[in-house]
Chains A and B, each alone.
Chain A
Amino acid sequence: GAVVSQHPSRVICKSGTSVKIECRSLDFQATTMFWYRQFPKQSLMLMATSNEGSKATYEQGVEKDKFLINHASLTLSTLTVTSAHPEDSSFYICSASSSGSTDTQYFGPGTRLTVL
């Protein structure tokens, strides 16, 4: 149980294009989903928290207009990196938790984004 998928697993794009990453909870309803970014040899950095049907809460320093988050259903959240630049290249990981599991977060496999 508690399986979270992410798609795509890897994406390479040109500078200036937008990239959408999907995060799905496969066997439970995710009331809350989280988006993290991780640079090489660094720890996870929380970007934003999203609750189904409401606007995402962004962490300080994260541009909400650049990283668009949609949590349209209890099993799907999307992160769109708009006008991507090489400095946005990173490992993006989502996690999900359900109201029945307090704050246990289950992570997706991650998406490696490379912006040329």
Chain B
Amino acid sequence: QKEVEQNSGPLSVPEGAIASLNCTYSDRGSQSFFWYRQYSGKSPELIMFIYSNGDKEDGRFTAQLNKASQYVSLLIRDSQPSDSATYLCAVGMNTGFQKLVFGTGTRLLVSP
């Protein structure tokens, strides 16, 4: 079983719709969770992080964490074509070395 799992996609949504990206993780002791966006040929950029159960909102983005279900998601409201990218879920390992385990990413396509 992979430590961090994401559906590779592509997830296709029309412009203006809500895109929902999901991620599950295997280490129940994980405490920190991150979403990164990566455009083709570029390096990842941090969108947001979440540490506590529940929702965390930042502009058009909402991260949702459910530790009991070992599930973290990212909602993108009012999706724009510029949101088309690969979204990487990353989970902090409980090793004290600040390592992150990355999922393979979900490719999002927002059509005009």
Chain A complexes with chain B: yes
The count of residues in chain B whose C-beta lies closer than 8 Å to any C-beta of chain A is 21
**Minimal beta-carbon separation of B101 from chain A (angstroms):** 8
Contact across chains for A106 and B92 when beta carbons are under 8 A apart:
no
User: Which residue of A46, A57, A93, A102 is within 8 Å of B43 (Cβ)?
Assistant: A93
**Minimal beta-carbon separation of B46 from chain A (angstroms):** 6
Task: Judge if A105 is at the interface, Cβ distance under 8 Å.
Answer: yes
The count of residues in chain A whose C-beta lies closer than 8 Å to any C-beta of chain B is 21
Contact across chains for A103 and B103 when beta carbons are under 8 A apart:
no
Contact across chains for B46 and A32 when beta carbons are under 8 A apart:
no
Contact across chains for A109 and B43 when beta carbons are under 8 A apart:
yes
Task: Judge if B32 is at the interface, Cβ distance under 8 Å.
Answer: yes
Task: Judge if A107 is at the interface, Cβ distance under 8 Å.
Answer: yes
Contact across chains for B103 and A107 when beta carbons are under 8 A apart:
no
Q: A45-59 CB contact bits vs B (8 Å, 1 = yes)?
A: 010010000000100
Contact across chains for B43 and A107 when beta carbons are under 8 A apart:
yes
Set of chain A residues within 8 Å of B98, measured between Cβ atoms: 32, 49, 97, 102-103, 105
Contact across chains for B88 and A44 when beta carbons are under 8 A apart:
yes
CA of A10 to CA of B92, assembled, Å: 30
Q: With A43-B103, A57-B97 in contact, do A106 and B46 touch (Cβ < 8 Å)?
A: yes
Contact across chains for A109 and B97 when beta carbons are under 8 A apart:
no
Contact across chains for B99 and A104 when beta carbons are under 8 A apart:
no
**Minimal beta-carbon separation of A70 from chain B (angstroms):** 18
Contact across chains for B49 and A44 when beta carbons are under 8 A apart:
no
Contact across chains for A103 and B43 when beta carbons are under 8 A apart:
no
Q: Which residue of A lies closest to B6 (CB)?
A: A43
Q: B36-65 CB contact bits vs A (8 Å, 1 = yes)?
A: 100001111110010000000000000000
Please list the residues of chain A having a beta carbon within 8 angstroms of any beta carbon in chain B.
2, 32, 34, 42-44, 46, 49, 57, 91, 93, 97, 102-110
* 10 residue pairs from A and B, CB less than 8 Å apart: A32-B97, A43-B102, A49-B97, A49-B99, A103-B98, A104-B34, A104-B46, A106-B46, A108-B43, A109-B42
Please list the residues of chain B having a beta carbon within 8 angstroms of any beta carbon in chain A.
32, 34, 36, 41-46, 49, 88, 90, 92, 97-100, 102-105
